[in-house]
Amino acid sequence: MRYAYLGPAGTFTEAALRQVVSPDEATYLPQVDVASAIEAVRDGVADFAVVAIESTVEGGVTATLDSLATGSPLVLLREVLVPVQFTLVAAPGVRLEDVRRISAHPHAWVQCRRWLARNLPHVVHVPATSNTAPAALIAAAVAERATSDLGFDAALVPPPAVGTYGLAELATDVADNPSALTRFVVVGHPGQVPAPTGTDKTTLVVHLPDNEAGALLAMLEQFAVRGVNLSRIESRPIGDALGRYSFSIDAEGHITDERMGEALMGLHRRCPYVRFLGSYPRADAIAPTVHVGTADGDFQGARSWLQRVRAGGTD
């Protein structure tokens, strides 16, 4: 199986991919960005993509959410959590006190801002296209003995990149929030939905009806009336005008759950656009709270009762 991911070697995404499948058992296909990784699946170049979807610091990953929300349908098959800790690296011989310019992906930069302000208050940010790009540049410059042309002195890179590129560590565990996590998802083609495990989540994209006061409230009630809890809800502009939003939602439970099915049908009836992005096991394996009267048996019992009563029976 071929897995597209945000490459090259040494990224956090690769760390996530390694949790999914060993490089011995699959082909790793590094891509230049998240959108390309997802498109690789759409184009048939890869069977799956592993992409970041949310981090505790930055929130939803815009490129992932938007790529999945439109275009030909793909689904999420699994999620993986990776701690967010950077290593500050440089070419051999560079000392921490000499560092003036640090190359870092903008997301990396914001996740280390306070650490940098405290430890290297005068450094300047040199933006990178990915977390590992500066690692590769350092390695190449070292090989060519041209480190003075790098344009930066050090770089914030994911820990796995240290070994991949053979870099010198100036500082490890660089992060403002030691409990920061990034959530990655495995994206694939629609097909058989993974069987429920009892600790699943379901991801959706929903547009609200135009110009309807209380539309968000009404949308949330579709879940609440069936006893479905939401673990994440994020708005994204639809892009055609200010004030029009698409909602990216994670709901607790699996599409085969009766309560989830009825809630989804309610959304389908009332909202102009609903896209099912998959039901898959939660990385934290927490089971959803099942409110009174909302277990599968309750729905099945209610359906049997309705059939009896519609047929003229009594209870």
Minimum CB distance to a copy of itself, residue 217 (Å): 5
| Number of residues lying near a copy of itself (CB under 8 A) | 81
| Candidate list 1, 96, 195, 225; residue touching a copy of itself; CB under 8 A | 225
| Candidate list 190, 200, 281, 290; residue touching a copy of itself; CB under 8 A | 190
Q: Say if strands 154-157 and 2-6 run parallel, antiparallel, or are unpaired.
A: unpaired
Contact 259, 228 (CB under 8 A): yes
- CA-CA distance, 203 to 54, in Å (whole number)? 13
Does position 234 interact with a copy of itself (CB under 8 A)? The reply is yes
Q: Classify the C-alpha dihedral 276-280-284-287 as positive or negative.
A: positive
Q: Which stretch binds a copy of itself (CB under 8 A): 42-50, 90-98, 123-131, 158-166?
A: 123-131
| Candidate list 17, 76, 167, 255; residue touching a copy of itself; CB under 8 A | 255
Site for a copy of itself in 259-298 (CB under 8 A): 261-262, 264-266, 268-270, 275-276, 289, 291-294, 298
Structure token digits, residue 172 = 């490890």
Does position 121 interact with a copy of itself (CB under 8 A)? The reply is no
- CA-CA distance, 78 to 75, in Å (whole number)? 9
- CA-CA distance, 109 to 104, in Å (whole number)? 6
Site for a copy of itself in 153-172 (CB under 8 A): none
The site string for a copy of itself over 62-101 (x = CB under 8 A, - otherwise) reads: xx---------x-------x--------------------
Return the number of the residue (23 or 127) whose C-beta is nearest a copy of itself: 127
Q: Alpha carbon of 213 to those of 111, 208, 209, 218, 291: distances in Å?
A: 37, 10, 9, 9, 29
Coil, strand, or helix at residue 236? Answer: strand
- CA-CA distance, 252 to 260, in Å (whole number)? 8
Does position 45 interact with a copy of itself (CB under 8 A)? The reply is no
